[in-house]
Structures are given as C-alpha cells and as structure tokens.
Amino acid sequence: MNLRLVIILLVATIAAVAADDIAVVGIVQVTHNATGFGYGTLQTQSSPISPGFSIEYRHWWSGEGAWSDRGLAITYSVTRSGAGFVALSPPYCVVKFGLNRHEFDVAYVHRFHITSALSPYIKAGAGGFITNGGMAPGGVLGTDGQFDVVAEAGADTRITRHLGLRYGATLHLFRA
C-alpha cells in the first residue's frame, strides 16, 4: 500500500512540473564603462562583451482563468568575463583580470497570448550576484556580492508542445 501511495505522489509531482517551464538560455553580458574615484586615484572600469548561460524555472500559478498568464521565475546564470581598470591620475597604471559572475534572481513574470505561437512576456524582480576574481597582479581578488533589481521583456515561440525558443533583453540595476 505504501508503494502505491509513493507512485501516485510521484506521478502527480511529475505532472505538476511538466505544466511549468524550464529553459536553458545562452546570454551575452554587456557592461557600461564607469569612471569614478577609487583606491586614491580617478579610474575607469571596463568589461568586455562576455558570453554565458542561464537556467530558468517558471512556475505558473494556475492552469486556467485570470491567473494562468502569471507566475514566478527563478533564474541562475553564470558568465565568464573580465575587468580592466585604467588609472587616469597618478599613479598611472592598467590592471586587467578575469571574473566569474554567478547570479540568482526571483521575479514575477506575466505572459500575453499564451494560445498563440508567439507569447510576449515581461518580468520584474530582484536578486543578487557574486563575482569571483581569482588571481590578479598583486594577489588574490576574492569575491564580491551585489544586490540587483531585474527587468526583462521578451517572447517565447513554441516549436513543438515541449520545445520552444526564448529571446529577450534583461536589464540589471545595481550599485557599482
């Protein structure tokens, strides 16, 4: 009898997860250069355009009715990037090193026209990221963390019942 109960719960769990979305998305990180005063000198910080990937799980709150297009998105992404600092006042120097950026966000997502082949969506939420720099000239960089606010707009296109394409643009706002 216990075996039947376990099988029934397992089937119900698989059915509930199948109604939600899981996506693996290729991403590109584009960072705006910033100039500011740090470490006793005026400096410019830059980062190259960097590829990465993201895994997102979307849980839709209801299968039918007004709440069927609303849900919760949980996202993890990783990007291998780099950073460069150019001192614009004495002591003049240039420092460049690699960075790994790990990000975790939770957001509200709303999709439109879920019965059509094209389903636009908007997403808003918050989370944070951790950068791990490893080694740089002069020693170990260690880790740094930041809180961020996330806004995203995009669309999903269904290819088959269980496979689709997702494309969009995400804006991360945080204090540098």
Give 99-121 pLDDT, tens digit per residue. 888 999 999 999 887 666 788 99
Of the ranges 3-12, 137-146, 154-163, which one carries the lowest mean pLDDT score? 3-12
**pLDDT tens, residue by residue, 137-155:** 666 666 778 899 999 999 9
Exposed/middle/buried for 76, CB within 10 Å: 0-12, 13-18, 19+?
Answer: middle
Asked if residues 46 and 39 have their Cβ atoms less than 8 Å apart, the reply is: no
Helix ranges, the chain (H): 2-18
148-167 burial string, b = 16+ CB within 10 Å, else e?
Answer: bebebebbbeeeeeeeeebe
For the whole model, what pTM was predicted?
0.73
